[in-house]
Amino acid sequence: MHLKNFINGKWKKARSGEINEVKNPANINECVATTVSSTVDDVDEAVTYAKSASELWKKLSPVERGKYLHEVANQFEEHVDEIAKLATKEMGKRLEETRGEVLRGVAILRYYAQEGMRKIGEMLPSAASNNHLYAIRVPVGVIGVISPWNFPIAIPIWKIAPALIYGNTVVWKPAKHATASAVKIAEMFSKANVPAGVLNLVNGTGSVVGNRIVEHPDVHAITFTGSNQVGQTIATKVVSQNKKYQLELGGKNPAIVLEDADINMAAKLTIEGAMKQTGQRCTATSRVFVEKSIYQPFLEKLLGYVKNIQVGNGMDSDVTMGPVVSKSQYDNILHYIEIGKKEGAEIIYGGNALNGKNYDQGYYIEPTIFTNVTNDMVIAQEEIFGPVLSVIQVENYEEALAQANDTIYGLSASLFTSNLEKTFHFIQNSEAGMVQVNGETGGAEPQAPFGGMKQSSSGSREQGQAAVEFFTEYKTVAITSTFS
């Protein structure tokens, strides 16, 4: 499979001659696809067509634009297994997980297709009796979408779908470990006959392609999901250009388990929260604070669940955790595990790279649990983005909440308890954009706002009706009647 750019409704070769191979992280000897890195000129071409297409696209009614999104959703449903298998081979996530992600993309597309039938403005009272005052929402223009590899289907869709329904056009750069999936997504838009230039895909590096999208004068807003370091660079650049920007960044998500909780359920969901998608989620549970009175029985339950995890190729039906996405990610996770050891934390499960007959061709790491962790340790403060969980013993709820909030991040948090008073106190005082009670830290639904606080987010929200705030601007209109 040779990957191309998708510009103005056509598949085009990138101008660069630099060939890149997309390798299967479960078997690095397998080349999933090849691509040629795009250049600044490729980006400029894509932006030119997106700007031209916006004149027609924004004139369509939102209902008409919604019909296109429904048809894209139909295409995804028709090709769900094909897309899921490709995504699993490209970035390692289990087939069951990528299939669920494709179906989640379908739900997002249908949700925003229906958003095209909602109001796009409001009538307002005026001080003058002969004045008709109202406000309408209008598209921003050309949106630059820069998406990550860990959710190669859902995250691009939850950026692209609202951008399009509100009348914008898109120039999209996926992460290098999600280029094959991105091409497949663009194919679905092409099969749905979305007008040329409305969605444009350019593959390449962040330093060249991403940077040009950010700096291009005809790109009016940037939506980015990825690392804090890159996000801060984007923010600095776009502020000087007076562009809108939306950043969803890292997390160090805590779970708190109180003595009145169902500890069996809490242990099960904590392991799921930490190890699903091999821990490569910004909402993954990475710290769990456990009251002293239940610490030992909770650990026993935790170990019982983690021991049932079967690591292997994500295409195999009996596997419950796949490889990590790349050599750099593999090395980084193992580096953090070594830091944890040096800090004095104790590994009670895992902690090793997996080798041998079934693992020597891929990037496999054991699910890892640390105890004897203090909240000031590096492994309790920095985002690892892998299957590593730190267990921290606390005296009470108050100590747990204080330590859970003691982080630069504020994406998601969960509390396991049957105490209603503490539940509402946690909801009010947890410094996280998303709060779960008796649920794991991950998970999002299309109709609900998604995003974090502190350094996890730039403050705007993705998904739900909240998305309209970023992808539109208000225009206030006053019409004065000349009739007396």
Catalytic residue among 45, 248, 291, 366: 248
Token pair in block for residue 302:
């935790």
3-state helix, strand, coil in the chain (%, to 5): 40, 25, 35
141 φ/ψ sector (left φ>0, alpha ψ -120 to 50, else beta): left
290 φ/ψ sector (left φ>0, alpha ψ -120 to 50, else beta): beta
Alpha-carbon distance of 378 to 276, in angstroms, equals 22
Surface-to-core class of residue 187, CB atoms within 10 Å of its CB (0-12 exposed, 13-18 middle, 19+ buried)? middle
∠ CA 465-467-473, nearest 5°, is 110
Q: Beta strands 169-173 and 19-24: pairing type?
A: unpaired
Element (H, E) at 400: helix 397-405
- Report helix, strand or coil for 329: helix
The amino acid sitting at 310 is: Q
Residues 6+ apart with CB under 8 A from 342: none
Residue pair 387/321 in contact by the 8 Å Cβ criterion: yes
Residue pair 109/161 in contact by the 8 Å Cβ criterion: yes
DSSP E strands in 56-168: the ranges are 121-124, 131-139, 142-146
Residue written as tokens 């004065």? 480
Confirm whether 248 is a catalytic residue: yes
Alpha-carbon distance of 165 to 142, in angstroms, equals 13
String of DSSP letters for 227-290: -HHHHHHHHHHHHHTT-EEEEE----EEEEE-TTS-HHHHHHHHHHHHHGGGG-STT-EEEEEE
- Report helix, strand or coil for 221: strand
Question: Which whole-number Å values give the CA distances from 128 to 123, 133, 350, 477, in the listed order?
Answer: 14, 9, 72, 14
The dihedral built from the CA positions of residue 448, 454, 456 and 457, taken in this order, carries a sign that is positive
Residue pair 149/176 in contact by the 8 Å Cβ criterion: yes
Residues 6+ apart with CB under 8 A from 393: 289, 290, 292, 295
Tell me the catalytic residues: 248
